[in-house]
Amino acid sequence: MDIFSWFPIGVRLLYFIPSMILLIVVPFVCVGLYAAIFSKILPCKIYKSLLFPIALLGFFIWAIPMNMGFYEFFRGMF
């Protein structure tokens, strides 16, 4: 069942969509884990100042595997 047959570039977007979903999910998971572990331990000023670096770390956690071949994995699935 091809639900994107009406969309001319739909087939090429199918392998792009899961990687973009992961781009959104991975930094949120990293920040969520950071908040769950360190929100009560660290002082508020230090905790808040490290939120952006933790989100950036989540982006790098996403970017390195995408560069190593997950992009081709998603492309090969469709």
Is residue 48 in a domain?
yes
Confidence (pTM): 0.67
Q: How many domains, the chain?
A: 1
**Dist. CA 63–CA 25, nearest whole Å:** 13
Q: What's the pLDDT score for residue 48?
A: 94
Q: Indicate whether 5 belongs to any domain.
A: no
Q: What is the pLDDT of residues 3-13, one digit of tens each?
A: 556 656 555 66
CA atoms within 13 A on the CB side of 21: 7
Residue 4 inside a domain? The answer is: no
Residue 19 domain-assigned (yes or no): yes
**Digit-coded pLDDT (tens) for 22-44:** 888 989 999 999 999 999 999 99
CA of residue 45 relative to chain centroid, distance: 26
Taking the C-alpha atoms of residue 64 and residue 47, their distance in angstroms, rounded to an integer, is 26
pLDDT confidence tier of residue 52, bands split at 50, 70 and 90:
very high
Residue 1: inside a domain, yes or no? no
Residue range of the domain that includes 55: 10-77
- Whether 15 is in a domain gets the answer yes
Task: Catalogue the E-assigned strands of 1-67.
Answer: none
Q: How far apart are CA 72 and CA 47, in angstroms?
A: 37
